[in-house]
Amino acid sequence: VNYPTGLYVPYSTRTHLEDALNENIKSDPSWPNEVQLFPINTGGHWILVSLQKIVNKKNNKLQIKCVIFNSLRALGYDKENSLKRVINSFNSELMGEMSNNNIKVHLNEPEIIFLHADLQQYLSQSCGAFVCMAAQEVIEQRESNSDSAPYTLLKNYADRFKKYSAEEQYEIDFQHRLANRNCYLDKYGDANINHYYRNL
Distance from C-alpha of 169 to C-alpha of 164, rounded to nearest angstrom: 6
Active-site residue among 16, 45, 66, 132? 45
Rounded CA separation 64/55 (Å): 9
From 16, 66, 127, 132, the catalytic residue = 127
Q: Does the annotation count 66 as an active-site position? A: no
Is residue 116 flagged as an active site residue? Answer: no
What distance in Å separates the CA atoms of residue 35 and residue 132, rounded to the nearest whole number?
16
List the catalytic residues. Answer: 45, 127
